[in-house]
């Protein structure tokens, strides 16, 4: 009942008469029990879903694309706010939908710490307060900062090291670091790498996570800058690290997207299949960023924006 009331409050649908020649589509409730790390019950979940499998293409629907709101939208709108001199109260950050790879609680109650500051030269987006609270939470305020988020000479494995007595502490820490990557792209690769060890985290994995925290301690207020004088031109850069995963030998895809000089989107993710050559891995990375550009094209169309160019760039970065 709570789920249904929430849908009604958000005006998820609009009641109207059934059009001539159309038929109704049924729906059903899907129930699921969500458990905690110790297998105790955390909550009972209910979701109302439409039986879309009864629809016929060309009769009930014509397009298969469904726009997805994500944190890239927030950064995109902030970049526009800086360029177009919009008032920030027009952008409701707390109600923005976030990436699906974040913790579920983030959807409705995002953690405090997302800060936007306006200057003559543009806008600055950071999470300084959130970052300082995270450093204090793991008791690393008195430790020496690290120069890099990860040690390139250290290789992490699934079965090397002593398993953690409390795996939930590692999972909570990585979840908070994932949220921090919304304004700190420089830790995206290291956080993505550690998120692969959720099933059975070990001591070396926790030590690597603590190194990321020590790296953040060197400059907790670092964030994203969106200049006031900027062009509406989208450029994307992609790269791959071939067979870098020590367990699966899969490659890592990396990309970043700029609106003029403003960084609005980035990603570091392990590819879903094994690439037989570095060239194949590069093409997969290029295909990945092309999907992001296509999504941004739809977003610009919805906002009635005229973008100058959508330019993907194929780059080779030095190995990590």
pLDDT at 303 over 50: yes
Lowest mean pLDDT among 39-48, 157-166, 267-276: 39-48
What pTM was estimated for this model as a whole? 0.71
Query: How confident is the model at residue 95, as a pLDDT?
Result: 40
Query: How confident is the model at residue 186, as a pLDDT?
Result: 93
**What are phi and psi for residue 56, nearest 5 degrees?**
-115, 130
Lowest mean pLDDT among 54-58, 105-109, 228-232, 281-285: 105-109
Residues 265 and 296: their CA atoms lie apart, in Å, by 10
**Complete edge-to-edge strand list for the sheet that includes strand 224-227:** 115-119, 122-126, 224-227
Query: How confident is the model at residue 153, as a pLDDT?
Result: 87
Query: How confident is the model at residue 37, as a pLDDT?
Result: 72
pLDDT tens-digit readout, 176-185 = 999 999 999 9
Residues 239 and 216: their CA atoms lie apart, in Å, by 25
Share of the chain above pLDDT 70, in %: 83
What rounded mean pLDDT belongs to the chain? 82
Q: Which domains does the chain have, with CATH numbers?
A: 2-54 (no CATH), 70-226 (no CATH), 231-320 (3.30.420.10)
Residues 132 and 109: their CA atoms lie apart, in Å, by 19
Average pLDDT over residues 143-161: 91
Average pLDDT over residues 147-174: 92
pLDDT tens-digit readout, 61-102 = 666 655 556 788 888 888 888 876 665 544 444 443 333 333
pLDDT tens-digit readout, 9-57 = 777 778 888 888 777 888 888 888 888 777 888 888 877 788 877 777 7
Average pLDDT over residues 111-119: 75
Residues 246 and 85: their CA atoms lie apart, in Å, by 48
Query: How confident is the model at residue 261, as a pLDDT?
Result: 92
What are the CA-CA distances from residue 279 to residues 4, 185, 240, 283 (Å)? 50, 25, 9, 6
Tell me the three state secondary structure of residue 255.
strand
Query: How confident is the model at residue 129, as a pLDDT?
Result: 92
Do residues 214 and 146 lie in contact, with contact meaning Cβ atoms separated by under 8 Å? yes
pLDDT tens-digit readout, 173-216 = 999 999 999 999 999 999 999 998 988 999 999 999 999 999 99
Here the tokens at position 138 are 């793991």
pLDDT at 266 over 90: yes
Work out the burial of residue 153: count CB atoms within 10 Å of its CB; fewer than 13 is exposed, 13-18 middle, 19 or more buried.
Answer: exposed
């Amino acid at each position: 009942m709570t789920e249904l009331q929430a849908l009604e409050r958000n005006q998820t649908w609009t009641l109207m008469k059934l059009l001539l020649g159309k038929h109704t589509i049924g729906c059903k409730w899907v129930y699921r029990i969500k458990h905690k790390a110790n297998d105790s019950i955390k909550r009972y979940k209910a979701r109302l879903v439409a039986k879309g499998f009864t629809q016929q293409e060309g009769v009930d629907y014509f397009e298969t694309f469904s726009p997805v709101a994500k944190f890239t939208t927030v950064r995109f709108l902030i970049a526009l706010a800086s360029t177009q001199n919009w008032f920030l109260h027009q952008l409701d950050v707390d109600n923005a939908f976030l990436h699906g790879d974040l913790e579920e609680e983030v959807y409705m109650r995002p953690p405090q710490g997302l800060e936007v500051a306006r200057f003559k030269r543009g806008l600055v987006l950071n999470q300084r307060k959130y970052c300082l609270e995270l450093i204090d939470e793991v008791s690393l305020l008195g430790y020496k900062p690290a120069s890099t988020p990860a040690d390139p000479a250290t290789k992490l494995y699934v079965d090397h090291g002593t398993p953690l007595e409390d795996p939930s502490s590692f999972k909570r820490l990585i979840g908070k670091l994932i949220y921090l990557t919304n304004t700190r792209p420089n830790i995206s690769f290291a956080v993505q790498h550690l998120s692969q060890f959720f099933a059975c985290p070990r001591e070396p994995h926790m030590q690597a996570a603590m190194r990321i925290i020590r790296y953040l301690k060197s400059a907790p207020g670092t964030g994203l800058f969106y200049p006031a004088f900027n062009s509406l031109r989208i450029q994307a850069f992609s790269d791959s690290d071939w067979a870098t995963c020590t367990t699966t030998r899969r490659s890592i895809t990396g990309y970043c997207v700029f609106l003029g000089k403003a960084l609005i989107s980035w990603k570091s993710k392990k590819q879903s299949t094994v690439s037989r050559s570095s060239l194949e891995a590069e093409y997969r990375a290029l295909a990945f960023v092309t999907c992001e550009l296509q999504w941004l094209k739809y977003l610009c169309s919805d906002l009635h924006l005229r973008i100058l160019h959508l330019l993907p760039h194929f780059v080779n970065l030095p190995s990590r």
